[in-house]
Structure 1
Amino acid sequence: MPTMKLGYLKVCVWLACVAIASVILYTVVMLSRRPLSLQTSRTAVFTGGHLRLWQPMDLHGIPLWDLLMLYMTQLDNPILKNATAQFNLTLPGTCGENFHAASQGLKNISSYPSHFQAFVLSMHFRDYSLLVGPADDEACPDGTQLLVAVKSQLVNFDRRQAIRETWGQKGLVRGVTVQTLFLLGKQGPGDGYPDLQALLQLERQKKRDLLLWDFQDTFYNRSLKDILFLRWLQGHCPSVEFVFLGDDDVFLRVDALVAYTGSLDAATQRGLFTGHVFQDTAPVHDSQHKYYVPESFYQGTYPPYVGGGGVLCSRAVATQLYKASCHLPLFPFNNIYLGICLRELGLVPQNHPGFRTFSAEAEGQEDLCAYKELILMDHRTPQDIIRLWRGLHDPALAC
C-alpha cells in the first residue's frame, strides 16, 4: 500500500512539473511573437539576452502598429493578460468583438493626415454586417471548386460589367466549376459620390454576384474588405478548393489559372499562396505619396507579400489567414497585411512569373501571343479587358 501511494505521489508531481513547464513554454513562445521591427528596437523586450517577464516595459518610442501588436499578443497570454494596463489602450481580446477605436490619446495621431487618422481610429472595428449577398446556392452552386473574388467599388460598374462579359464568366473551365463574386463596401453622396442606389438595386437583382458590407469603401479599408471576405468564406462555399482574390482592373486568364492548380501535387495545393512577390520593401515616409506610412505608425521592412492585382491561394491557407488576422492589427495596405498574416503563420508566398504587371501599350499594339504565357495582367481599363479577351479568342490568332 505505501508503494502504491508513493507511485501515485510521483505521478502527481510529474504532472505538476509538466503543467508548469507548459505554462512557462507558452509564455516564452507568446512573448517571442512580438513584431519583427520591435526585436531590433532600442526598447526591445529582450535586453542583453535576458527575458524580462514581469517588469513593465518601456513603451516610449515604439511605433503604434508594433504597440498594438504587442498589446494583442499579451491579451492572448493568460499569464500576462493583466499586464496590459500599462498600454492605456481600450482594445478587444477576440476577433469580431464589437470595439471602435484606441483611446483618443494615441501618440502622434494628430500629426497624421486626415485619411490616415480616420484609418487609425476605426482600424479596430471589424464587425460589419453584410448588407447585400446572394443566397448560398447562388453564391457558390454545388461543386464550385474555384472562387474568383474581385474587389470592386460601387462606382466601378463598367469594370464589373467588362469582367462579367469576358474572363469573369461562370461555369465550367477545363472541367472545373468556377464562380465569380464582387466585393463591395458603401459609397454615397456623403462621401462625394453620386447616388447609385437605384443602379445598385438593379445590378443586385439582375446579376446576384455582389457581396456588400456596411463599411465605408476607401483605399485604406481594402485590408478590412479582405478580412470580411475571408470571414464570410468560413461559413460558405464548402466545395471551394482554391480562391483568387484580386482587383477589378486586372485581366485574368482563368483557364491558365485552372491549368496551373491542376498541375500541382496535393501538398503544394494545400499550402498554395502565390502571385507576384515583392521582397525587402520598406514603408514610404513621404507624406505626399499614395502609400505613405508615418514613422510613428510602422518602422522596419515589410515581410514578403504578393502585389500586382491578385493572389491565388488554397482554401486551407485562406482559413488560416483569417484566424491569424484575429490576432493582428489591421494594416492600411491589403497586400502587405496578408503578407504580415502569412509571416504570423510561418508561411512564405511563392512567386509565379505568370502574375505580372505590363506597361500600358498603345491600343492594338499588344503582343497577344506573349499574353498567352501569363495568368494575370494588372492595370487594365474595361476597354483593355474587352479588347484583350476578343483578341485572345480570335480564331485567326496564330501563336
Structure 2
Amino acid sequence: MASCLCRYRQRILFFCSPCILLLPVYIYVSISLCYVMKHGPPGAHVVHSVLPTRFTASGLKHSRDLAPHPAKSFWRSELDSSALWNNIQFETDLQYNPILRPHLAANASSVSYNTGVGCSPNYEINNIMHDYTNLPNQMKNFVTTMHCRDYPLLIDPLDVCDPQAKKWPLILLMAIKTQTANFDNREAIRETWGRSGKIKTRGGKQRLVRRVFLLGKSEDLHIEEKLHLESEKYGDIIQWDFIDTFFNLTLKDVLFWDWFSRRCPHAHFIFKGDDDVFVRTPAVLDYVLAEAANRSFSNGSRQANKMETFVVGDVISNAAPIRFNGTKYYIPESFYEGLYPTYPGGGGVLYSGSLAHRLLEVSQRVHLFPIDDVYLGMCLQRLGVYPIHHPALLTFDFPKDEAKEPCANHTMLLVHKRSPAEMFQLWTETSTPSPECRNAMLRVKPRPD
C-alpha cells in the first residue's frame, strides 16, 4: 500500500512541477496584460507626460464604456427668453450655425428674409408682444416693419466713385447720416471737413476723399423739392424710399453697405458719422494710412488680410438697454433682453472697405435692431471682430474742462456735437495751427469712469 502511494506521489510531482514553475510566469503575464489594457504600453506614459495641457479638453466625461465626450451640449435647442428680437435672432443664428449647417454658413451672402420692395407692416406682432398697445409709436412702427429692408433708391449719385481710377485710388469715403431738413449742416460740412477731392494729409501728401450724405425721405414735400435741387447741384445725396426716423437709422447702414458694394467697392476706408460732428480729415487720413501700412502682411506671411477686421471708434462695452419710456433710446424687455454687445458709438466710426463687404454679408442674417450703433456691434460680434477704442474719437465731447486747453482741438480726430458755425471756427483753427499746436499729438487720455 505504501509503495503504491509513493508511486502515485512521484507521478503527481512529475506532472505538477512544470505547472508550479510556470505559475509565476502566468501571474506576471496576466498582470502585465491588465496594466497595458488599463494604462497603455509603457512608452505611452512618456508621451502623455510631455503633451501640453491644451490637448486635454475641459468639461469631459470619462467612462469605461464610452469615449470621452463633452459634459454639456455645445448648442442650446431652446432659448430661455420671451423677448421678440432674441427669439427670432436665435432661430436665425441656429439655422446658419457654421457647425450644424456648414453649407448655409458658407453661402451666408445669399441669405435673405425680408419680403422685398413694398412689403407691408406686420400687425400680427400685436399677438406676440403682450405690451404692444402700450409701446411708444416709434417702437410700434419699428416692430411692425422690422422685416422690411429692401427699399428702392430715390436719389442715386452715379459719379461719386471711379472704380477704374488707378493713379488716384479712393482712400476715404465719408458717409454722413443726415435728415432732409438739415441743409445748414450739410453745407457747413461741404465747405469744411467734408470736402471732396484731393485732400492734403498733415504730412503734405495728397489723397483722394469722397463724400455722400445718407437720407430717408420726409413727408414735407417742400423740403423734398429743395433736396432734389441740392442733389442736382452737388451730386452727393443718397436717398431711399423710407421715412427718416431715429429707429430707421439702421436701414441707412444696411442699405449703404449694399450701395457701397455696387457703386464704390474699391474705397480703402469708410468714415460713417453724424452731420453734427467735426472731423480733422487730414489727421484721419494720416491715421488710416499708418494703420494700413502697419497691418499689411509681408514676407510671405500666411495671416489673413488684417484690414478685414479694422474698425475704430469710441467703443462702448457692457451697455444695457434703457428701460425708461421717456427717452428715444427706450427698448422694452418684451423686445430685447440682455446686455448689448461691444460696439463703437454711432457719432463717428472708421472701418475698412473690406470689412464693409463682410458687414453686408453678415447683415443678411442679423435682424434689424432699432439702434444703429448697437446693430453694428451685433454684426461685428457674429464676424468675430472686436472694435478698437481710440481716445481721439470724442463722440461724447471733451471731458470737463479739457476743451479749454490751448491745443485740445489739435489732439482729436473727431468731436461731437458741433453746430455749423462751430464747424467753420474749428476748420479755421485746425487748418492753420499756431506754432505751439503744430506738432500736437493725438489724444491718448482714457475715457473717465
Do they fold alike, i.e. is TM over 0.5? Answer: yes
Structure-2 change in CA distance of 1:211 and 1:282 (3 Å): same
Identify which range, 152-161 or 198-207, moves more after superposition. Answer: 198-207
Give the AA of the match of 1:257. Answer: V
Give the AA of the match of 2:368. Answer: L
2:311 matches 1:311? no
Greater CA radius of gyration, 1 or 2?
2
2:276 matches 1:249? yes
Contact 2:307–2:355 at 8 Å: present in 1 too? no
SS in 1 for 2:397: coil
Structure-2 change in CA distance of 1:117 and 1:326 (3 Å): same
Structure-2 change in CA distance of 1:168 and 1:95 (3 Å): farther
Work out which of the residue numbers 226, 229, 233 in structure 2 matches 1:202.
Answer: 229
Work out which of the residue numbers 163, 167, 177 in structure 2 matches 1:151.
Answer: 177
Give the AA of the match of 1:62. Answer: S
State the distance in 2 between where 1:97 and 1:305 align: 28
SS in 1 for 2:222: coil
Q: Which residue of 2 aligns with 1:94?
A: 112
State the distance in 2 between where 1:334 and 1:221 align: 8
Work out which of the residue numbers 120, 132, 135 in structure 1 matches 2:143.
Answer: 120
Structure-2 change in CA distance of 1:78 and 1:375 (3 Å): closer
Gaps of 5+ in 1: 1-47, 82-91
How far apart are 1:49 and its partner, in Å? Answer: 2.9
Q: Which residue of 1 aligns with 2:194?
A: 168
2:149 matches 1:131? no
Q: Which residue of 1 aligns with 2:388?
A: 350
Q: Which residue of 1 aligns with 2:217?
A: 186
Residues 315-345 of structure 1 show CA distances to partners (whole Å, capped at 9, x for unaligned) of: 1111111111110111111011000100011
Work out which of the residue numbers 246, 249, 261 in structure 2 matches 1:222.
Answer: 249
Structure-2 change in CA distance of 1:368 and 1:307 (3 Å): farther
Contact 1:391–1:397 at 8 Å: present in 2 too? no
How far apart are 1:93 and its partner, in Å? Answer: 5.9
SS in 1 for 2:375: helix
State the distance in 1 between where 2:341 and 2:98 align: 28
Give the AA of the match of 1:144. Answer: L
State the distance in 1 between where 2:433 and 2:370 align: 44
Identify which range, 165-174 or 95-104, moves more after superposition. Answer: 95-104
State the distance in 2 between where 1:337 and 1:197 align: 28
TM-score, structure 2 normalization = 0.68
Q: Which residue of 1 aligns with 2:413?
A: 375
Contact 2:279–2:413 at 8 Å: present in 1 too? yes
How far apart are 1:292 and its partner, in Å? Answer: 0.8
Structure-2 change in CA distance of 1:212 and 1:262 (3 Å): same
Q: Which residue of 2 aligns with 1:335?
A: 373
Residues 186-220 of structure 1 show CA distances to partners (whole Å, capped at 9, x for unaligned) of: 0123xxxx721331122011100000000010000
2:261 matches 1:239? no
Structure-2 change in CA distance of 1:116 and 1:395 (3 Å): closer
SS in 1 for 2:263: coil
Contact 2:160–2:210 at 8 Å: present in 1 too? no
SS in 1 for 2:386: coil
State the distance in 2 between where 1:107 and 1:270 align: 38
How far apart are 1:165 and its partner, in Å? Answer: 0.5
Contact 2:218–2:224 at 8 Å: present in 1 too? no
Contact 1:100–1:124 at 8 Å: present in 2 too? no
Aligned-residue Cα RMSD (Å) equals 2.8
State the distance in 2 between where 1:293 and 1:221 align: 14
State the distance in 2 between where 1:358 and 1:80 align: 45
Give the AA of the match of 1:231. Answer: D
Structure-2 change in CA distance of 1:204 and 1:61 (3 Å): same
TM-score, structure 1 normalization = 0.76
Counterparts of 1:285-296 in structure 2, within 5 Å, are 285-296=323-334
Q: Which residue of 2 aligns with 1:36?
A: none
State the distance in 1 between where 2:388 and 2:398 align: 23
State the distance in 2 between where 1:245 and 1:386 align: 20
Q: Which residue of 1 aligns with 2:17?
A: none
Structure-2 change in CA distance of 1:347 and 1:211 (3 Å): same
How far apart are 1:80 and its partner, in Å? Answer: 9.4
State the distance in 2 between where 1:277 and 1:51 align: 30
How far apart are 1:133 and its partner, in Å? Answer: 1.5
State the distance in 2 between where 1:283 and 1:52 align: 26
Percent identity of paired positions between Structure 1 and Structure 2: 37
Work out which of the residue numbers 423, 433, 441 in structure 2 matches 1:385.
Answer: 423
SS in 2 for 1:255: helix
State the distance in 1 between where 2:265 and 2:422 align: 34
SS in 2 for 1:153: coil
Counterparts of 1:354-369 in structure 2, within 5 Å, are 354-356=392-394, 357-358=396-397, 366-367=404-405, 369=407
How far apart are 1:347 and its partner, in Å? Answer: 1.0
State the distance in 1 between where 2:418 and 2:74 align: 51
State the distance in 2 between where 1:195 and 1:390 align: 34
How far apart are 1:238 and its partner, in Å? Answer: 3.1
Contact 1:274–1:311 at 8 Å: present in 2 too? yes
